[in-house]
Amino acid sequence: MPATSLDAERTYDEERFSTSGVFRSDRAKAVCGYFEPGQFIPVHAPDSDVVVTVQSGTGTVREGETDHAVGPGDVVAVEAGTERGVKADDDARLEAVLVTAPPPTETEHEPVREGIRRDEFDPRNGPE
């Protein structure tokens, strides 16, 4: 079983959120996520559950039509097939552990790549 920490895995990218994969099997995937202020994982709805545990910073976790303001220690779980996204506040970095089960497919992550390319957190609402 791998053991690590957010400190050990920490890496930021000025262009987009960054992740460090810490575990993957056919049943689950865990990554450490690092967001500069305003960076995001675009809203998408893969066929997997996700649990987001915030370590530091502040931001928003979208769960369906609900936006959860999050900070250190907050945990948000989103069921498979439900729209979700993660966004750091404009004035703070955000660090979180994201666990998905089962891991999303490459096809299910296409909306994430497209949202980043178009700089859209929520593709229904346009650029933010």
Domain annotation for the chain: domains and CATH numbers: 13-118 (2.60.120.10)
**pLDDT score of 123:** 80
**pLDDT score of 128:** 56
What is the reported pTM? 0.91
Cα-Cα-Cα-Cα torsion 112, 58, 95, 25, nearest 10 degrees, comes to -50
Task: Provide the β-strand partners of residue 68.
Answer: 61
Task: Give me the average pLDDT of each 10-residue run along the chain (128 residues).
Answer: 82 93 95 97 96 98 97 98 97 97 92 92 72
> Nearest-CA neighbor of 19 among 126, 82, 104?
104
> How far apart, in whole angstroms, are the C-alpha atoms of residue 28 and residue 72?
23
| DSSP state for residue 99 in the 8-state scheme | E
